[in-house]
Amino acid sequence: MRGIYAITNVLTDTVYYGQTVDIRKRLATHASKLLIGTHTNPLLQASWNKYGKDAFVFAPLYSMPDGDLTARERSCCEDAYGLGLKKFNCFCPGEPPMLGRKMSAETREKMSAASHRKRHPHSAETRARISDGRRKNLLSPLAAAHLRKISAANVGRKASAEHCSKISVAQKLRWERNRAVKEGVPHVEI
């Protein structure tokens, strides 16, 4: 369900407004991040930590199959003070905080270096050592022996035509689902 949602601390009358194309999923994501303490909104996370989950209400406000979500969210944010509510929202909807700012070449270089470190945190030598260690310790001796027994039991065993066709259909569905997710194409579950 596409629309606007609110997360409200009922003890402090403070609200967080948001927009999404799937309200149920987005509210679940907010709740999950708050529970594990990694929410991107520091005000909301601090309030959650202080008052606990029982102080919060997660609710859809407007279901909008079409229309401008940003304008509706902005309207909610502007009306909050008139309703006697404080806001967790750090920025006005539709106005990203860095929009239009120019960064110096030095700043861009620092950001690039930091991003590179995140993608490649270990040196090539360290990655090779980690890889070797994982290869050696993939299975305990007991698990390896168990897999050898299963393998020996299946030697010469032929799968029926029906079983092979079921595997083929399942693989095709998996491939289609992965392709659809990667390309953002809607797919049908069977």
| pLDDT value for 162 | 93
- Beta-carbon contacts of residue 84 (< 8 Å; ≥ 6 apart): 13
Please check whether residue 14 lies inside any domain of the structure: yes
Please check whether residue 137 lies inside any domain of the structure: no
- For 131, what's the count of Cα atoms within 13 Å in the CB-facing half-sphere? 7
Write the pLDDT tens digit of every residue in 66-124: 888 888 888 888 888 888 888 888 777 766 665 567 888 998 888 888 777 666 677 88
Burial class (CB in 10 A: 0-12, 13-18, 19+), 88: buried
In angstroms, how far is the first alpha carbon of the chain from the final one? 22
Please check whether residue 73 lies inside any domain of the structure: yes
Please check whether residue 140 lies inside any domain of the structure: no
Positive or negative: CA dihedral 85, 87, 93, 99: positive
Please determine, for residue 37, whether its predicted confidence score (pLDDT) is greater than 80. yes
23: domain CATH number? 3.40.1440.10
Tokens 């303490």: give the residue. Answer: 37
Entry pTM:
0.52
Please check whether residue 76 lies inside any domain of the structure: yes
Please check whether residue 157 lies inside any domain of the structure: no
Please determine, for residue 14, whether its predicted confidence score (pLDDT) is greater than 90. yes
Please check whether residue 114 lies inside any domain of the structure: no
| pLDDT value for 118 | 65
Write the pLDDT tens digit of every residue in 110-152: 888 877 766 667 788 888 888 887 776 666 677 778 888 988 9
Please check whether residue 173 lies inside any domain of the structure: no
For the chain, the domain total comes to 1
Q: Note down the domain range covering 78.
A: 3-87
